[in-house]
Amino acid sequence: MLDRRLNAYRPDLAEAGLQGKVEASRFVEGNPARVAVPVAALRPVPDLSKGIDTELIQGEDVTVFDRADGWCWIKASSDGYVGYIRESALDTTGAAPTHIVTVQRTFLYQEAELRKPYKDVLSMGSRVAISGEAEARGNHYMTLDDGTAIFAKHVQPIGALDGVDYVDIATRFLETPYLWGGRSGLGIDCSGLVQLSMLMTGRAAPRDTDMQAASLGEPIERGDLRRGDLVFWKGHVAIMADAETIIHATGHTMTVVRENFEEAVQRIGWLYEQPTGYRRPIT
C-alpha cells in the first residue's frame, strides 16, 4: 500500500537526493490545480464514509495525478501529502491568489455590504485573488472578480506575515474546535495547529506529529524550554507560549486551549505517558 505521506516533508530523503522517488512500473506527470472551496478533506481512499487524513484550504496549490468517478488523486504543494479529494473542490482556471486570510475565520460576502448574505466562511490561511476595493457604510472591503467581498482588515498580501512570531498566530486559534485531521479555523488538530501557524509566517513544516518530532528544528532539553519550542508526546504536540504555558489543540476539551505545562504533563501522562521529546524550531 502506498504511504499517504510518501512524498511528504523528509529532509533525510532530500539530502540523499531521494525526495519523492519511489519504485514504480510507470510515472504520471501531474497537472496543477488549486483548491476552490473553503476547506477540502483529503482522504486515504475515495469514499466519503472514511475518515480524513488532513485538509486543504481555499487557494492552496495541488498536483493532480488521476481523475475518476468524481475524485482526484493529488499531492499537496504545501507538504507533499497525497490522497483523494473531490474533483468539484478543485479549479484549474482561476486567477492566482494575491492575498491571504489572517484572522481565525471571516466571511466572503456576496457583495461589499455586511448586511447582505454571505457566500462562504473562509479560514485563516485561505488564499484569494483580490481585484479591487470598495467602501460601504464606512467599512473597507477587498473585492474579487466575481463581485464577492472580504472585510479588508481580515486579509493581507501573501507573504506579509513572513518572519512573524508563529506563536502569535497560534494564539489566534484559541477556542477553535478540535477536529481529527482538521487544519483550518473551522476545526484543527494538534499538528495542524503547529503546521498552519508556521506556514502563515513563511516557515515550512510537515503535517504529522511524528514527522514534526523527527525534523522540525533541533532537539533540546526539558529545562531549556521557552516560547516557541515544541513538546511532543506519542501522537501529540504542544507549543510553548512561555516557559510555563502551552497552547495546543486537545481532545480533552475538544478545543485549542492555553494550559499550564506541568499540569498538562500530569493530566496527559495517564494515557500518553511522559513527553517523548522537545524541539526548538529554527527561525
| pLDDT tens track for 30-42 | 999 999 999 999 9
Query: Per-residue pLDDT for 152 more than 60?
Result: yes
Amino acid at 259: E
CATH superfamily, domain 99-157, is SH3 Domains (2.30.30.40)
pLDDT score, position 17? 42
Report which of 4, 6, 2, 64 is spatially closest to residue 35, judged by C-alpha positions: 64
Dihedrals φ, ψ of 235, to 5°? Answer: 85, 15
pLDDT score, position 12? 41
Dihedrals φ, ψ of 271, to 5°? Answer: -105, -40
**What are the cell numbers at 100?**
491571504
pTM of structure: 0.89
The pLDDT confidence band at residue 23, using thresholds 50, 70 and 90, is low
CATH superfamily, domain 11-91, is SH3 Domains (2.30.30.40)
3-class DSSP state of 143 = strand
The average pLDDT across 59-68 equals 97
Domain ranges, ordered by start, for the chain:
11-91, 99-157, 166-280
The average pLDDT across 158-170 equals 97
The percentage of residues in the chain with a pLDDT greater than 90, rounded to a whole number, is 86
The average pLDDT across 102-127 equals 97
The pLDDT confidence band at residue 27, using thresholds 50, 70 and 90, is low
Question: Of 11-25, 49-63, 223-237, where does mean pLDDT reach its minimum?
Answer: 11-25
User: Does 11-91 match 166-280 in CATH topology?
Assistant: no
- CATH architecture of the domain covering 166-280: Alpha-Beta Complex (3.90)
